[in-house]
Amino acid sequence: MGTPDARAWLLEADRLHHAKQFEAAAQHYRQAVACDPALFEAWLGLGFALGAIQEHGEAIEALRHALALRPEATRLRINLAESLFALGHVSAAVREYETAAGGGDPLARDMALRNIACIAPGDPALDNLAIMEVRRRWAEAALVQPGRPAWRPGEKLKIGYVSSFFGARNWMKMFIGVINAHDRDRFEVHLIATGDLPSAEAGYRDHRDDRIWEIGDISNSELAGHIVSAQLDVLVDLNGYSDLARMPVLLHRPARVQLSWANMYATTGFPTVDCVVGDAWTIPPDEEQFCVERVRRVPNTYLAFDVFYPVPDVAPPPWARTGHITFGSLMSAYKITDPVIEAWSRVLHGVPESRLLLRNQALSQASNRDDFLARFAANGIDATRLVLEGGGEHLDFLRTYDRIDIALDAFPYNGGTSTAEAIWQGVPLLTFNGDRWAGRTSRSILMEAGLGDFVADDEAGFVGKAIEMARAPEALADMRARQRAKVAASPACDTGGLCRQLEAIYRAEADAKR
pLDDT digits (tens, 9 = 90+) for 424-462: 999 999 999 999 999 999 999 999 999 999 999 999 999
Whether the link from the prior residue into 412 is cis, omega within 30° of 0, is yes
Q: What is the per-residue pLDDT across 321-340, written as a single tens digit (0 to 9) for each?
A: 999 999 999 999 999 999 99
The percentage of residues in the chain with a pLDDT greater than 90, rounded to a whole number, is 94
Give residues with Cβ within 8 angstroms of 442, minimum separation 6. Answer: 409, 414, 415, 416, 419, 429, 431, 455
In this structure, CATH architecture of domain 319-493: 3-Layer(aba) Sandwich (3.40)
Q: Which is it for the CA torsion 484, 486, 492, 496, positive or negative?
A: positive
Write down the pLDDT at residue 144.
Answer: 79
What are the Cα distances from residue 440, in Å, to 111, 175, 478, 481? 28, 19, 27, 26
Given a cut of 70, whether residue 203 has pLDDT beyond it is yes
More confident residue, 32 or 142: 32
Pick the CATH number of 4-124 from 3.40.50.300, 3.30.70.260, 3.40.50.1970, 1.25.40.10: 1.25.40.10
Q: Tell the CATH topology of 157-304+495-512.
A: Rossmann fold (3.40.50)
Span 226-242, mean pLDDT? 94
Q: If DSSP codes are grouped into helix, strand and coil, which group holds residue 446?
A: helix
Give the residue from 147, 140, 139, 142 showing the smallest Cα distance to 254: 147
Please, which residues bridge with residue 162 across strands? 192, 237
Does 4-124 match 157-304+495-512 in CATH topology? no
Spans of all domains in the chain: 4-124, 157-304+495-512, 319-493
* pLDDT at residue 153 in the model: 65
pTM here is 0.94
DSSP per-residue codes, 353-386: T-EEEEE-GGGGSHHHHHHHHHHHHTTT--GGGE
pLDDT single digits (tens) 49-68: 999 999 999 999 999 999 99
User: Which whole number is the average pLDDT over 147-154?
Assistant: 67
